[in-house]
Structure 1
Amino acid sequence: MQQLLKRLSIIKASVALEDYEIIELQISKIQSLELDNEAQSIIEQLNEHQYISAISSIDRYIDKNTGLVVYEGAQSAALKLELKMLELKLQGLSDKKMKK
């Protein structure tokens, strides 16, 4: 769900930027996800180039599906990034120790 919400936000920003290529890329990535009827309707609107209705639908969909879950998702992403950075630091220290 979080990935879908983030991709819909990217599409919304891409419409504002008039960046058709990014819209198409995000649509193709979204279509590989499991979609409910409302999300599928948004994709159909985008495929039919009905951007005004799509943006309204995206806003409603994001509003309806956000809340505490989004905060947890953002926190999880931040923790994953911190873990990745610590792993890189550990690898660097291990390499440095092996060289001695």
Structure 2
Amino acid sequence: MNKTDLIAAIAEKTNQSKVATGEFLDAAVAVIEETVAAGDSVTLVGFGTFKAAARAAREGKNPKTGEKIKIAATTVPRFSAGAGFKTKVAASKPKKAAKK
């Protein structure tokens, strides 16, 4: 499912226009991004938590040359699924992957 499909599905469930739903989704994503970028977390009970996490500096390997490289420390976004979300996913039957 891509963003367009998500907007259409939400619009259908809420009886709202796709335009209004798209604006709402864009605003929600922007607020989550701004909040996490500022160092706070966003928790949607039953769904999950968006937060920033520190990633330590480490040594990696250039896959082309095999040469060791240093990877700088950084802050990355993380999502931790909530109990309700985990339960729903665990109870569903996964779709078979499409063959290439």
TM-score by length of 2: 0.31
Name which structure has the greater RCO, CA cutoff 8 Å, separation 6+: 1
* Larger relative helix fraction: 1
TM-score by length of 1: 0.31
